[in-house]
Structure 1
Amino acid sequence: MGFRHDAKRMNVEGDRLSSLPDDLIHKILSSISLQQAIETSSLSSRWRYIWTSMPYLDFSTEGFSKLNKFSKFVTNILSRRNNQVQLSSVKLSFRGKATQVFVKRILNYAFSHNVEQLTVVSFALKDDIPINLFSSQSLKHLMLTLLIILDDDDLFSHCPNLKNLTLNCCQTKICLSEKSGESEESHLNICHSKLSNLTLEDLSCYVVNVVNVEAPQIKNLIIRKCYVDVVNVEAPQLKNLIIRKGYSSVNLSADVLSLEKVDLTISYRLNAQAIVGLLQQFRSVRFLTLNLEIVECLSSSVELISHQPSPFATLKSLKIYPARKELHPKANVSTLVENYFLDSSPGVTLTMVLREVHAPYSMLVHICAATYLLL
């Protein structure tokens, strides 16, 4: 009796799932591995071919002992998939060389089926990926992780409708000088007329020296944990800038006049002169967030700003917080530094965020914020 009851309940639940529309089932299947999604075909006749029309494909070499087995798996999947269905998203995570046949096969298939979002993750930096493979009119979102890419101004020009680009732990192919035999300075050039959002993460001067960004339509730029020598930005429509950790020098072109929000966190290799040079570029910023270490660094070098007028004529909000938990809650901010930030904007809202650590547990237990409206 109990067995029949359980079987009946399973059939009812199966029927409920089968009654869902295809797009919702596809969404559910996208949360599991491709192999698991294929295994659902045995659930019922309704599910037998449902995976073949999924607009999401997630390939990974994990779970395959040999790459030739994975390559056969890829060939099998792509040959059985419904070719009439376009692709929304494709992710490829692989080990080994980027020049492997299955990499090209997956990318070509994705672009021929009008993929809009593409993520490529390499588990090891081996060989540069043939960037000519990235040619698509449909691609709007691209994320590359642990890939070697060419130092080329036309790097992403073959994807004219690209809106969002994320480069994580990537490096450029360093060429040897013909004369000296020494490696030349490595440049990463990002030039794109329609790019709106750019994220640079975990880039190091050991693999990339200079990043050049030329994107007239870019609105949002995130530079996170980057330790390159310099990031040059030519983006007149830039509105939001986030710089987290790292110590890269950032140069904004003179025509960046639309900047509204800046979130700046620098806690490594603090250089007061470099910080002043960076802050002087934020003339149009309205909402500014800084870590306390920056302010204290300026307070110890007030001679750099004592004769300079405040550049923040449009500032509406200034938020200061300590980046490190072990900092004492009492901030060491000189009057000259306060004036530097606030004198040109009398209506600024100043928020000081203070972290308190409760002994003996050495953990964050309280955040206290003091807000002042300066009239």
Structure 2
Amino acid sequence: MEDSSNQKKKQAIEDGEEDRISTLPDPILHEILSSMDLKYAIQTCALSKRWRYLWTSLPNLHFDVDLFPLPNDSKRLHQFPHFVNQVLSQRDTNSNLCNFYFSPHACDHPSFIENSLSYAISHNVQQLHLNDFNITAPKLRNLELWYDDEHWFSDYYQLDSDGLDPVPDGQKIVVSAPRLTSFKLEGRVSPVFSATSLPCLDNVDIDIRVPFNAIIERSLSLNVINMLGQLREASSVTLSLITLEVLAMQTDALKSHPSPFHKLKHLNLIAEELIQRVRSPTLTLPLNVITYLTRGSSCSDTLVVKFC
């Protein structure tokens, strides 16, 4: 009898705790669910009527095929697109997206990739985290791009701003996001921004990745210079020392091209210790690159050098 009574008390306490959580407003519950694996967040729909449709209005979605728990890669690559499609098709159509993380890696389904990104764009995504894509998103504010060189020479597409139809575009990444405020790039390929100006841009973080045994191509240097010219509105710029090394290959171009950042206030130079040790036993800052980056600013007041 005593064990039964204790069990009832324990159950009553647990029920009370569940009730208190359930009375929290949707934004707080969304924060709780967003901290969980999406699959488990969806499973909360079985808790009660209060939770049944709560997940369908989550503002943050995280899709990463590497985190998809299946026994082998073939099943993962087959079921991952199905999972993403099911989530997006059952989501509340009136709920906009704040964060959309999408990393399908080796999933070779162009229509699946196109539809997933189109969904994010059509639901006014504010922060888009991608791996190996082109994107058109007029309302996008924060964009992070990672390029995996191993898979780079597969098929990529430019998304047309009208109908989002895939257009084969070789190795060129085209970004159309005129309201962009923050841009981060890790990889070898420099995207092209379709907008003539990015007036809202404030933060830029560039880390050009070059394999240890690779020779830096002069064409890569020129591409980076052209890209920085399109990011000229940024006031806070972070560059890896490898990026400086790439820029230093174009001595003549640095002299002939105007300095990119006329609003520059903070320049952060980041050296990843292992990479720097492998590529060069001594640390040298190419002064011609530093001059090129800073001479165009009329309000530069801080030069911050960081070594991670």
Q: TM-score, normalised by structure 1?
A: 0.58
1:278 correspondence with 2:278: no
Cα distance in 2, alignment partners of residues 235 and 2 from structure 1: 69
Q: Is the 8 A contact 2:239 2:269 kept in 1?
A: yes
Q: Percent identity?
A: 26
Alpha-carbon contact 2:98-2:125 (below 8 Å) kept: yes
Distance 1:271 1:73, change over 3 A: closer
Give the CA deviation at 1:98: 6.3
Change (3 A) 1:151 1:225: farther
Q: Structure 1's 66 and 12: CA in aligned 2 closer, same or farther, altered over 3 A?
A: same
Contact 2:102 2:129 in 1 (8 A): yes
Q: Unmatched 5+ residue regions in structure 2? A: 157-169, 249-253, 274-279
Q: Which has the larger radius of gyration?
A: 1
Residue 205 of structure 2 is aligned to residue 199 of structure 1:
yes
Does the alignment pair 1:240 with 2:250?
Answer: no
How far is the alpha carbon of 1:281 from its aligned partner? 6.5
How well do the aligned residues superpose, as a CA RMSD in angstroms?
3.2
Pair 1:114-2:108 in alignment:
no
Please name the residue that 2:79 is paired with. Answer: 69
Aligned counterpart, 1:6: 10
Q: Within 5 Å, which residues of 2 pair with 1:186-335?
A: 189=192, 192-194=197-199, 195-204=201-210, 206=214, 209-210=220-221, 211-212=224-225, 213-214=228-229, 215-224=231-240, 226-227=242-243, 228-230=245-247, 234-245=260-271, 269-271=282-284, 274-275=286-287, 278=290, 282=294, 285-289=300-304
With normalisation by structure 2, the TM-score equals 0.70
- The answer to whether the aligner puts 1:16 opposite 2:17 as a matched pair is no
Instruction: For residue 192 of structure 1, report the CA deviation from its aligned partner.
Output: 4.5
26-35 or 92-101: bigger deviation: 92-101
**Residue 307 of structure 1: aligned partner:** none
Give the drift of 1:288.
4.1
Structure 2: distance between partners of 1:160 and 1:280? 25
- Specify the code of the residue in structure 2 equivalent to 1:137: P
Q: Report the alpha carbon displacement of residue 278 of structure 1 after superposing the two structures with TM.
A: 3.0
Displacement of 1:235: 1.7
C-alpha separation in 2, matches of 1:285 and 1:118: 30
Once the two structures are TM-superposed, the CA of residue 271 in structure 1 deviates from its matched residue by: 4.2
Structure 2 SS opposite 1:229: helix
Q: Distance in 2 between matches of 1:193 and 1:289?
A: 24
Q: Can you give the 5+ residue segments of structure 1 that lack an aligned partner in the other structure? A: 123-128, 173-186, 248-266, 292-322, 325-375
Q: Distance in 2 between matches of 1:277 and 1:235?
A: 13
Give the Cα–Cα distance (whole angstroms) in 2 for the partners of residues 2 and 202 of structure 1. Answer: 62
Q: Is 1:136 matched up with 2:137?
A: yes
What CA distance in whole angstroms lies between the structure 1 residues aligned with 2:233 and 2:100? 25
Where does residue 53 of structure 2 map in the other structure?
49
CA distance in 1, matches of 2:130, 2:294: 34
Amino acid at match of 1:198: V
Higher relative CO (Cα under 8 Å, sequence separation at least 6) belongs to: 2
Question: CA separation in 2, counterparts of 1:66 and 1:120?
Answer: 19
The structural deviation recorded for 1:290 is 5.2
Q: How many equivalent pairs are there?
A: 248
Equivalence for 1:26: 30
Query: For residue 27 of structure 1, what is the amino acid of its counterpart?
Result: E
Instruction: Give, in angstroms, the shift of residue 244 of structure 1.
Output: 1.2
Partner of 2:165: none
| Residue pair 2:144, 2:185 contacting (<8 A) in 1 also | yes
Confirm or deny that 1:104 pairs with 2:98: no
- C-alpha separation in 2, matches of 1:99 and 1:226: 33
The letter for the 2-side match of 1:221 is V
Q: 1:82 to 1:217 in 2, by over 3 A?
A: same
